[in-house]
Amino acid sequence: MLQFMVKRILMMIPIVLLISIIVFWIIQLPPGDYVTTYAASLRAMGEDVDAAEMARMREAMGLSQPFHIQYWNWITAIVLRGDFGFSFEWGSRVTVVIASRLPATLALSFTTLLFTYLVAIPIGIYSATHQYSLGDYVATFFGFMGVATPNFLLALVLLYVAFNYFGVNLSGLFSREFIDAPWSLARVWDMMKHLPIPIFVIGTAGTAGMIRVMRSQMLDEIRKQYVVTARSKGVEERRLTFKYPVRAALNPIVSTIGWALTGIFSGSTITAIVLNLQTQGPVTYRALRNQDMYLAGGFLLILSVLTVIGTLVSDILLAWLDPRIRYERKGS
């Protein structure tokens, strides 16, 4: 096991390096660069920007250098100094931009993830063990609705209903007086009050999908012979369900826990824009659109690294959860 982990971790290094090259290549793919976008926005404001000034800006930002040199400067700064470079658009360090939105993003993502698991797993188990009951139909109905409804649409509907019938503006993570207040108990409490809506909106689709997965896995398991055997031996139904089939049915969910890391880091994008949540998602979106390449690149790279780490975590968890899973073939 230990050897397996070390090997996997060593393998991650070339993978991450390869990813970083691809990331850097992708963020430069769209035509033009940040200077083009910036000049366009200045011109839209009536400023004159001529070719000479644009060339000077490219020089100052290091955008005029060839690809491999730009990449080399970028990646060495990250590896050696943890410096992700400078966000042109925000006028500050990429790390500062990311850090400023991290607490709210993490709080929102973790609670959403918890919400998803706490709701989806019990409902999934219930609907499998009570297949074709009224409860199962209700869960299935809402499950499909949840999968089929885009989150942002749900957000819009909720915003509309809340505002039109109850006169409440639900957007944002904080009340106005707490927006730029320093962190305090009162501020945390204020955020707690605003969290349910985004959690509900962002969590629905995931919850719905997970209910379906849990249900079908459970259905597979409870028909298996070991369950029948256990039941025939008189193991109490509740104990039986939770000790054996549930554990086995959790496999696909556990193996995707790792990927949830990326979701936790980025927060959801379109929903966050609609609900006016100051999380990472909208920042990434804008960075990609405006070709704010170091910010966009930093995000993509962190996301990729998190995916790689997440996969590793999933594998380890899976091995721990399900001893049947083997990593090494003996005698090969």
Partner 1 sequence: MRNTRMFILMLFASATLLWAGGRTEQAAVDTTDADLREAPMLAAMVEAGELDPLEDRLPVNPMVVDDMWEGVGNYGGGPLRKAWMGPSADRWGMEKNSSEYLVHISQDGTTVVPNIAHELEILDDGTRFVFHLREGLRWSDGEPFTTEDVRFYWEHMILEEIYVPLNPIWTRGGELAQVNILDDYTFEIVFAESYYNFPIEMTMQMREFFYPAHYGRTILPEFIGESAALALAQEAGFANVEQFLVSFGRFFWIRPEVPSMRPWVPVNDPESGIFRTERNPYYFKVDADGRQLPYIDGIEYQLVEDSESIILSIIAGDIDFQDRRVGMNDFATLMENRTRGDYAVIQWIGEAGGGHIEFNRYPQDDVLGEIFRDVRFRRAISLSLDREEITEIVTDGLGTPAQSSTNPGGAYYRESWTQAYAEYDPDRAAAYLDDMGLEWDSNREWRLRPDGQVLEVIMTVESTQNVALYELIEAYVRDIGVRWITRVVDRGLREQERDDGITEASHSTWNGWSWPVRPTSHVPVQPNRLWSREYYNYMTSGGTQGVEPGPDVAELVENWNRFGSLPPGPERDQVAERMVDFWEENLLNLGVFTQTPVPSVISNRIGNHPPDGLTHSDPLRSPLNANMIAFFFRQ
Question: Which residues 271-290 are close enough to bind partner 1 by CB under 8 A?
Answer: 272-278, 282, 289-290
| 253 contact partners, CB below 8 Å, separation of at least 6 | 117, 121, 210, 213, 214
Does 266 sit near partner 1 (CB under 8 A)?
no
Question: Which of 27, 159, 197, 208 touches partner 1 (CB under 8 A)?
Answer: 159
CA–CA dist 279, 171 (Å, integer) = 13
CA pair distance 17, 301, nearest whole angstrom: 10
Q: State the Cα–Cα distance between residues 100 and 94, nearest whole angstrom.
A: 10
- Tell whether residue 72 is a contact of partner 1 (CB under 8 A): no
| Rounded to 5°, angle at Cα 267 from 261 and 269 | 130
Interface with partner 1 (CB under 8 A), residue from 2, 3, 10, 48: 48
**Smallest gap from residue 185 Cβ to partner 1 (A):** 18
Query: Of these, 10, 44, 80, 185, which contacts partner 1 (CB under 8 A)?
Result: 44
CB neighbours (10 Å) of residue 150? 11
Nearer to partner 1, 46 or 331 (CB): 46
Residues 82-121 that bind partner 1 (CB under 8 A): 85-86, 89-93, 96, 100
CB of 176 vs partner 1, minimal distance in Å:
7
Percent of the chain that is helix, strand, coil (3-state, to 5)? 75, 0, 25
DSSP three-state, residue 88: coil
| Least spacing, CB of residue 175 vs partner 1, in Å | 11
Residue found under tokens 């207040």: 181
- Whether residue 76 contacts residue 24, with contact meaning beta carbons closer than 8 Å, is answered with no
- Which residue of 67, 144, 163, 226 would you call a contact of partner 1, by CB under 8 A? 163
List residues binding partner 1 (CB under 8 A). 30-33, 36-37, 39-41, 43-46, 48-53, 56, 60-61, 85-86, 89-93, 96, 100, 159, 163, 167, 169, 171-172, 174, 176, 179-180, 272-278, 282, 289-291
